[in-house]
Amino acid sequence: MTEYTSEVFDLGYQHYKGPREGRARAYKAIWIDGMRIALGLGRGARAKILPGILIGIVILVAVIWSLVAAAPDPSDDLLDHADYYRFISVILLLFSAIIAPELLCPDRRDGVIYLYLVRPLTITDYVAGRWLAFFTVSFALICAGQIILFIGFTLGADESLTYLKDNWLDVPRFLGAGLVIAVFTTTLPLAVSAFTTRKAYAAAFVIGLFFISAIIAGIVTECDPSEMAFDDCEPSIGEAGKWFALIEMGQVPDHVSDIIMDDENKSRIARQVRKLPVIVPILWYLIMTAGPGYVLWRRYERLRL
């Protein structure tokens, strides 16, 4: 008969004797790992290209505007902080739509989510950690350009100290507006990503949602400005046009941002929304942010072990 032999190897495994940090350490790890994923850190060069391009464009626009402000004879129509948000809104939407699925889809597709949940980590901790990671990156990206722009406006003014004294309130305003935009652009794409393991599907749905809603809102608010003053232009569907103007998803945070910045957006959609009571776009923003946030959490609650 064949005799079987075996051998025991001492691989030097030892019990962990260090401090046990529990849920807080696990939550922090999820948060840091999420930020690294969003920025493509610790991964190949391809993963860094898109975040690098988007971040570079946002910063470059702020630098160019700062240089224009510092010119000897700047234009009287120099764009301000509110205009900057509207100018880069498309870039921010593309950034959130493409990068956000990276934080959720691979974990579910590869089954890594279940390895997280055997740790002292709840599903709420996981979702909150991923959300906070992408929010941190988005908020930093949004505000970095604004800070550069404010510094440029201050240094480009004839009297920098006078400009700083007269406009220092712009800082809490654009930080508050940036907070509003970052929360929205973080929550909606992550909520969509919770329903698919395919990153491309999630990104395509979010981008399509923004563009299709913009087309529909443009159609229902269309009017003939030649017949009357543009400010009073009546949509072809009548008074309902100002309500249907809320359909455009891309401008949902912009309406609240304009309120915070005390600025009037000159787009047709914004003009229609301004006919509504101020509380309406604010409530609509809360619904379109809290609703997807709740859906995101409930979707992951079903994965509880």
Segment 108-114 long-range contacts (CB within 8 Å, at least 24 positions apart): 108/197, 108/303, 109/197, 109/198, 113/303, 114/303, 114/305
Q: Read off the tokens for 71.
A: 């010119």
- Residues 99-103: what's their mean pLDDT? 91
- Measured between alpha carbons, how far is 62 from 232 in angstroms, rounded to an integer? 33
Query: What does pLDDT average to over the chain?
Result: 83
pLDDT at 3: 67
pLDDT at 158: 76
pLDDT(128) > 90 = yes
- Taking alpha carbons only, the member of 93, 80, 88, 61 closest to residue 214 is 93
Percent of the chain with pLDDT over 70: 87
Q: Read off the tokens for 179.
A: 């907070």
pLDDT at 121: 82
pLDDT(187) > 90 = yes
pLDDT at 225: 55
- Taking alpha carbons only, the member of 68, 71, 67, 89 closest to residue 141 is 89
pLDDT at 190: 94
pLDDT at 46: 80
Annotated domain spans of the chain: 23-301
Residues 6+ apart with CB under 8 A from 27: 121, 125, 128, 129
DSSP 272-303: HHTTS-THHHHHHHHHHHHHHHHHHHHHHHTT
pLDDT tens digit sequence for 32-75? 999 999 888 877 778 788 888 888 888 888 888 777 766 665 55
